[in-house]
Structure 1
Amino acid sequence: MKMNRRNYIAVLLAATLLSAGIISGCNAAQEGRTAPVRNTPDAGSRTNTETGGGKRELTVVKEGKPPAEQGIAVQRIHRIEGANIEKWFSDHELEIQVTALEKQATATDEAQFSYSRFRFDLETEQRQSIEEKPGASQGEVIKSFPSPDGKYSFIQTWKNKYEAVNAIKNLATGERNELLAINNYMEVGGWLNNDTYILAAGSMEGLGAIWKISVDGTREKIELQDSEVEFFTQFAVGNGQIYYTDNNSRLKSFTSTQARPTLLATDVSTLSLSPDSQRIAVTTTRSGGQEEESLLIYDTSGHVQGLQIGKGDLVSYQSWSPDSSKLAFAVYTEDKGGMNGIYIFDTVSGKVSPLGLSYFPVYPPSWSPSGARLGITVDDKEKLIVTHIVDFKQ
């Protein structure tokens, strides 16, 4: 990348230059500047030299500082044994789930585990037990999805793996509107904008209904005219667009008012829309004697942005930083000379940097709210799992 230069020109006029005179640039050199001398044509008020009929003009060029280097640099790595990250409360506080082996597996019985939740402080390394909320049913799972502006949250309360109660909550007032008329079989959806949530509810028979849900609790079904999709394996929503892959691994988009989809890309196995809804990380699979996956960045119109940023036998667990400036992803390649481990793609510089951690994660990488930290959970022979939290230099 070329370095930007700012030229500061100071024209030094000398009325009595000798034809063999020498002009000293000591001060410029001391200040890290260059002082080239160039010939220029006559220009009325300019002073001509005694030879050549031209004018000798001294131009002092001061080099500005290059822009700050983009990319990543690791400052520290924390280690939390036997735990995975459930969610972040702040850049230094998070909820972890600790897994403990209670009974070893036998020839006839599976191993037994216990699970406990804690609030963990990275600065003090103290843990505080998180008790189950009063009134929560056994086995009930609650998931929330805040709107882009943080004013509302779409909440799913799963009674079991086939049935969920959906609601919209006003985070400022605490008011909650339950959507009792919607049968939900799948956890597929996203915010279309600050005021509308799109839910692909699924069905035991196939695709099921697609709902457009407003923050006031009102909802309506929207139509998708595509005979080449039976159910959604990849689905993302943002900035007024709905993205999905069909039965033939083709990436398409449609809107709540345009039922016929637009084809964006082919051979797509996974997609991940950035939080600002400006980029889509797409994994493509091609077979050329040996199956290989590539990671590409598309804009929302389906145009590839630059070259592939990752390649291997398996490319997975794409995770965007909250500000959409970085993408973490994992690569596994049987050939140890290829890409292996966790990588970070920086959208500003276009650089892809390895974290130096060659292991493969068992959960998607998890960013802290500011993007200053990244949590990576991997298998461990002694502790079952271990979470590494990487601090990046700012």
Structure 2
Amino acid sequence: MNKEKYIAGLIAATLLSVGILSGCNAERKGDTAEVRISPGTTDQPGSGTGGGKRELTVVKESKPPAEQGIAVQRIHRVDAANIEKWLSDNELEIQVTTMEKQATATEEAQFSYQRFRVDLETGERQGIEEPPGAAQGEVVKTFLSPDGKYAFIQTWKDKYTAVNEIENRTTGERQEIAVDNYMETGGWLDSDSYVLAAGSMENRGEIWNISVDGTREKIELQDPDVESFTEFAAGNGKIYYTDSKNRMKSFTPTQSRPTSLVEDVSAMSLSPDSQRIAVSTTGSGGREDSRLLIYDTSGHLQGLLIGKGDLLSHQSWSPDSSKLAFAVYTEDKGGMNGIYIFDTVSGKVSPLGLSYYPVYPLSWSPSGSRLGITVDDKEKLIVTHIVDFKK
């Protein structure tokens, strides 16, 4: 499918969604009707009790009502690339994949990879060289604190070995944390401490509370129903996870016994402001499909069903927690398929274009005005579409 057909289909589908969501208010936008009573006039027939003549007046609103739903302004296409990270709203780091040798009956295909810095406004692309001393295949992952003053940094030397550090982003000073871990599972408990579920080759491993001053302390969890953490999040003083029986639970560093919140959970995603949890449920009670629901942090259901299908994945909150992007696959083509956006302000769910399925995590820009979607492509291996939303 060429670029023009893709963009036309995506914009048409999005505009259709927005029209359905907000069309009922189109004729009244900015105006309200008000009945005013003019004092000192004679009652008119049928006017009811009380003096004064009734007049219908259109009163202009000083501020227009808030827009609901989403609308697409522009789409950027980046061939053979995935998003590594956003550097700003306009700049991002990508990794370009090139096939060097086709696969044969006896050998796998060979690929090369190169990183670039891309400016979406100018289209300029600049190659990124590996820093001096960087090991081949070394992977660095950075997790910013809620206030942005600190970062928890993991430098993975290989698949099972990582160096953990706390960085003061004001001074640039780093402190290494002497913790052996096999997983990158964790999250900021608050702006002063990071929780790391270290994992182990034999059991679930230790859970560490790491302070921004570089100190660490073990967190006790008394739960026989968790052998490893497949779903794990932390925020606003609480830690959330799922156990081996697909139950979402929460606890605090001072409360070793967890509280059970939601049953039949296959995946969960805590919003950046730690106020909502998006939960994908497994089929139960004769129901085979998976469903997406929003809960508060105490396990209370918020609103109605957000999405459903055979597979729900790639849940991604916008940085300001106002929107949730997610992917749905349904074998029945009449069901939900593709990328959808849930708007927490309006409570609306909008389809985002054609029925494609991402192969990388959905990636929001820092302001939430752009969303990156990477999909498979027969000619280019992968293609990343970066959608600009109207403000």
Q: Does TM, scored on the shorter chain, surpass 0.5?
A: yes
Query: 1:269 is paired with a residue of what secondary structure?
Result: strand
Instruction: Confirm whether residue 284 of structure 1 aligns to residue 281 of structure 2.
Output: yes
Does structure 2 retain, via aligned residues, the 8 Å contact 1:39–1:56?
no
The within-5 A match list for 1:1-394 is 11-14=37-40, 38-41=47-50, 55-65=51-61, 67-180=65-178, 182-287=179-284, 291-394=288-391
Question: Any unmatched runs of 5+ in structure 2?
Answer: 1-23
Q: Distance in 2 between matches of 1:190 and 1:80?
A: 31
* Native 8 Å contact 2:196 2:209 kept in 1: yes
CA distance in 2, matches of 1:13, 1:297: 51
Q: Distance in 2 between matches of 1:110 and 1:208?
A: 36
Aligned residues: 363
In the alignment, the residues of structure 2 paired with residue 165 and residue 19 of structure 1 have an alpha-carbon distance, to the nearest angstrom, of 84
- What is the Cα deviation at residue 288 of structure 1? 5.7
Amino acid at match of 1:58: R
Distance 2:347 2:34 in 1: 30
User: Taking CA–CA contacts closer than 8 Å with sequence separation of 6 or more, which of the two structures ends up with the larger relative contact order?
Assistant: 2
In the TM superposition, structure 1's runs of 4+ consecutive aligned residues that sit over 6 Å from their partners are: 1-9
Matched to 2:38, the amino acid is: L
Structure 1 residues not aligned, in runs of 5+: 21-36, 42-54
Quick one: structure 1 residues 19 and 131, their matched pair in 2 at CA, closer, same or farther if it must change by over 3 Å?
closer
Residue pair 1:146, 1:154 contacting (<8 A) in 2 also: yes
Q: CA–CA distance in 2 between the matches of 1:62 and 1:366?
A: 44
Alignment RMSD, CA only?
2.0
Task: Give the helix-richer structure, 1 or 2.
Answer: 2
| 2:15 aligned partner | none
SS in 2 for 1:39: coil
Question: If the length of structure 2 is used for normalisation, what is the TM-score?
Answer: 0.89
- Do the aligned partners of 2:223 and 2:258 also contact (CA within 8 Å) in 1? yes
CA deviation string 1:21-74 (max 9, x = no partner): xxxxxxxxxxxxxxxx83333xxxxxxxxxxxxx23335544454622211011
8 Å CA contact 1:40–1:57 kept in 2: the answer is no
Per the alignment, do residues 39 and 287 of structure 1 end up closer, same or farther by CA in structure 2, a change over 3 Å counting? closer
Conserved 8 A contact 1:9-1:59: yes
**Sequence identity of aligned pairs in percent?**
71
CA shift digits 1:356-390 (9 cap, x unpaired):
12110001111111111100000000000000011
- 2:310–2:331 Cα contact (<8 Å) kept: yes
SS of alignment partner, residue 97 of structure 1: strand
Cα contact 1:342–1:354 (8 A) shared by 2: yes
User: Which letter maps to 1:105?
Assistant: A
Distance 1:275 1:166 in 2: 22
SS of the residue corresponding to residue 38 of structure 1 reads: coil
Distance 2:212 2:44 in 1: 82
Q: Could you state the TM-score of these two structures normalised by the residue count of structure 1?
A: 0.88
Per-residue deviation at 1:126? 1.2
SS in 2 for 1:120: strand
- The CA distance in 2 between the partners of 1:217 and 1:370, in whole Å, is 30
Are the equivalent residues in 1 in contact too, given 2:43–2:52 (CA < 8 A)?
no
Q: Name the stretch that deviates more: 66-75 or 336-345.
A: 66-75
Q: Distance in 2 between matches of 1:19 and 1:106?
A: 91
Give me the whole-angstrom Cα distance separating, in 2, the residues matched to 1:162 and 1:266.
32
Q: Matched residues in 2 for 1:196 and 1:18: separation?
A: 71
Counterparts of 1:116 and 1:38 in 2: how far apart (Å)? 78
- Shift of residue 291, structure 1, vs aligned partner: 2.5
Which letter does structure 1 place at the counterpart of 2:121?
E
Relative to structure 1, the CA distance from residue 67 to residue 18 in structure 2 (aligned partners, 3 Å threshold; closer, same or farther) is closer
